[in-house]
């Protein structure tokens, strides 16, 4: 069982890898990667972001939602909940 954990590769922050300082809230193509199929923001342990970029990414997602660039929930999830 310990061997499984040793073989697992550490996830690298995509923003640090590309030397990006700011996360742009207008770039919905990048931000969609950090949303689940229901529209929830994915946590750090799943995305592999560092703490500072996760905070910036979360803020950018919230701004994009507020400006209606991204949905608050997935379309299929909304249809199921109204039945």
Residue 40 has a pLDDT of: 93
| Residue 71 forms part of a structural domain | yes
Separation CA 15–CA 49 (nearest Å): 8
| Residue 4 forms part of a structural domain | no
60-66 contact pairs (CB < 8 A, 24+): 60/23, 60/24, 60/25, 60/31, 61/25, 61/31, 61/34, 61/35, 63/25, 64/25, 64/26, 64/28, 64/31
Counting as low any pLDDT under 50, the low residues of the chain are: none
Domain that holds residue 48: 10-81
pTM confidence score: 0.78
Summarize pLDDT for 11-31 with one digit per residue, the tens.
889 899 999 888 999 999 999
Residue 2 has a pLDDT of: 58
Q: Which CATH number characterizes residue 76's domain? A: 4.10.640.10
Instruction: Please return the burial class of 66, using the count of CB atoms within 10 Å of its CB with bins 0-12, 13-18 and 19+.
Output: exposed
| Residue 36 forms part of a structural domain | yes
Number of domains in the chain: 1
Residue 61 has a pLDDT of: 96
| Residue 48 forms part of a structural domain | yes
| Residue 5 forms part of a structural domain | no
Residue 74 has a pLDDT of: 78
């Amino acid at each position: 069982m310990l061997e499984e954990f040793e073989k697992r590769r550490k996830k690298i922050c995509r923003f640090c890898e590309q030397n990006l300082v700011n996360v742009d809230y207008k770039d919905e193509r990048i931000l969609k990667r950090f949303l689940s199929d229901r529209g929830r923001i994915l946590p750090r342990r799943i995305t592999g972001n560092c703490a500072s970029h996760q905070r910036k990414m979360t803020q950018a997602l919230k701004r994009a939602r507020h400006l209606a660039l991204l949905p608050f929930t997935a379309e299929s999830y909304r249809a199921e909940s109204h039945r």
